Chain A
Amino acid sequence: MHIDARQLNNNTLIEGDLCIIGAGAAGISMALEWIHTSHKVILLEGGGFDYDEKVQQLYKGTSSGQKFPDFTSSRLHYFGGTTGHWAGFCSPFDELDFEERDWVPYSGWPLKKKDLDPFYDRAHKTIQLGPYNYDLKFWQKKLPYMYPFPLNEKVIRTKIWQYNQARYGNIYKETILNAKNIHLYTYANAVDIQTNDNVSQIEQVIVKNYSGKTHTVKAKHFILACGAIQNTRLLLASNSKAKAGLGNDNDLVGRYFMEHIELNVAELNMIKPFATNLYNFEMGVTKVSGELGITHEAQKQEKILNGTSSVNLLPETVDNQLRLDRWKHYEETESYIKDMTDLWEEADTQAKFGMGAIGKKFHLNIRMEQSPNPNSRVSLGTEKDGLGVPKAHMNWDLTFLDKRSIRTIYYLIGREMGASGLGRLKLREEFRDANDPTFPEDTHGGNHHIGTTRMDADPKKGVVDINCQVHGINNLYVAGSACFPTAGGPNPTLTIVALSIRLSDFIKEKMKW
């Protein structure tokens, strides 16, 4: 069922059992779990079904620290949320991602991977992925030419990805609209969460839109599913009873903001040709592929963060056939060195005509968790958005551990490439000095907003508990990557959906109490 909140009479009271604030991957995944139940679910979306620039601008914020992209470019403010432009990378977190690592401050989840496995399996169905299996051998039986580089398996592993650019706004629109107990309100921007006097219970949420309408939503349970930045903004701005904001008694809301650090770090030149499909990725075509990862043992030994490297072919480098052919028959004397320049020039000329295909060059991009850091933080800015809510301010703060880990990952890959005789790796200039803590100007994230309401059993260390319920407020929950204590090696969406399904199960059980 769909209601456009702009068309309602001003000051309408909306009531339900469950109120989900935000209709992106987390919010819709949760709502789907409630279809055909006896519970009335209010699903609030700030935008409509299509991109609306004015609504999108409500995400506008400011930033300091490491250069951070405009918030409006990384999130989509309409039904389906950021699934409207995601690349569909899915992989479960590794067991190590959940563990406390003594070399990673603030690491460790109160969950283990096995706790999430059943929900990962269910999330696969929601995202419409293949079977919940990320074992290379499994996929080698299903797909041709999935050969990994023959590198030392004690150091280098293959991380398998599955892909589906599931656009929730398309694939679940009809399902949600046809569900009698799901009441989707578009153009319903939550601007204030109001509690009882002792801030132990949410009583209502105020929603607004650009049509000048203000409505009130009452429910038994409220779930924040607006993304790590907007969740923070709403919690901190809802300060009529709790001056520091909701869930923020211990000054934790907004802290530990994390991204997956992504940038080009190295190039790989192959000495020997190596034919494989394993590392290929073509958006919208590839369903499964692999990336180079560091084994957990090697991560422990080197005390580095978890991440993987893509292996992307540089198309301009198929120019070596001629050179190789000539050398093969050339007399090996000092004099042949003198002719090298001529040979390369000839090879380059031939390459312009597309001849030759042996030499391969790849560029390697990192995709790595950012270490949890309380100074990497979302707070409220001084300006207000078009609906009167303070804008978010981001201080993206990377650490030396982040930098050292990236460099070490590529150093290890380079070392193993050399040991295998397969190729040689070149580090980008900014990653050559092992003691340099700075990041290049073009450092960016994967637009994965993680942390800000981290999960911990101890209210002094986390905003939400093991069930994603905000500590101290018994009917307020957070769905999404804001709850992650660490960013994990892989992209977050599969884990976001798994945790959202898990949260749904928890609230259903709680409703029976």
Chain B
Amino acid sequence: MKRLNFILLSSLAAATVALPTIWISREHNLKFPHHLTYIWGRETLLWIGEDYLRLFPNENDADYLLKLLLEKRFSIDNIIEEDYKAGKTLVLNGWVLSITEGRQCALFSLTRTY
């Protein structure tokens, strides 16, 4: 096998393995408002999520929320930062949060397993 072909095939194989992993990891990060856990407990995250669903009952569907969260292809941190900069913010359970964070908490409240 020529050297160039080997490199291309190896890269393709690596990408085949890595991309779903990255995708799963990204989905996981989206589902859970990771950085917010540095300041809040589980209950607060749930209250925020429930408050979001109260304000936006049309988004009360885990698949739909996930779809919304996956719409943009940036990292979740960037999406949240852009939300704040663009004024895409709202007050949930008293907290000034980005819409994406609200959706993350809503998704968390819908997909909790216990």
| Chain A residues proximal to chain B, CB less than 8 Å | 269-271, 320, 323-324, 327, 332, 334, 337-338, 340-341, 344, 359, 410-411, 414-419, 421, 423-429, 432
Contact = CB atoms under 8 A, between A and B. Distances in A.
A411 B96 contact: yes
A419 B42 contact: no
B84 A415 contact: yes
A429 B94 contact: yes
B42 A340 contact: yes
Interface string B35-70: 111111110000000000000000000000000000
A418 B89 contact: yes
A324 B96 contact: no
A498 to B, nearest CB: 37
A269 B94 contact: no
A320 B89 CA distance: 27
B80 A341 contact: no
Nearest to B39: A269
Contact of A344 (B41, B80, B89, B114): B41
A418 B96 contact: yes
Nearest to B82: A419
Contacts of A270: 39
B91 A427 contact: yes
A427 B89 contact: no
A432 B37 CA distance: 23
Nearest to A407: B91
Contacts of B39: 269-271, 359, 423-424
B32 A337 contact: yes
Contacts of B94: 426-429, 432
B84 A426 contact: no
Nearest to A341: B42
Interface in B94-114: 94-98, 113-114
A418 B36 CA distance: 11
Given A332-B28, A415-B96, A324 B91 contact: no
A341 B114 CA distance: 12
B73 interface: no
Contacts, number: 70
Nearest to B41: A344
Interface of B: 28, 32, 35-42, 77, 80-81, 83-85, 87, 89, 91, 94-98, 113-114
Contacts of B35: 271, 421
A340 B112 CA distance: 13
Contacts of A269: 39-40
16 contacts: A269-B39, A269-B40, A270-B39, A271-B38, A271-B39, A324-B38, A332-B28, A337-B32, A340-B37, A341-B41, A359-B39, A411-B89, A415-B84, A419-B85, A423-B39, A426-B96
B42 A421 contact: no
A480 to B, nearest CB: 38
Contacts of A432: 91, 94
B41 A418 contact: no
A417 B80 CA distance: 12
A223 B32 CA distance: 66
B15 to A, nearest CB: 22
Nearest to B87: A415
A70 to B, nearest CB: 32
A337 B42 contact: yes
Name the 3 nearest CB pairs between A and B, nearest first.
A414-B96, A419-B84, A269-B39
Contacts of A338: 114
Contacts of A428: 94
A324, A338, A359, A419, most chain B CB atoms within 10 A = A419
Nearest to B34: A332
B73 to A, nearest CB: 20
Nearest to A320: B38
B41 A340 contact: yes
A463 to B, nearest CB: 42
A421 B42 CA distance: 20
A332 B35 CA distance: 13
A347 to B, nearest CB: 10
Contacts of B42: 337, 340-341
Nearest to B85: A419
Contacts of B80: 418
Given A344-B41, A415-B87, A421 B81 contact: yes
A206 B104 CA distance: 72
A323 to B, nearest CB: 8
A204 B114 CA distance: 82
A428 B96 CA distance: 11
Contacts of A425: 95-96
A85 B73 CA distance: 59
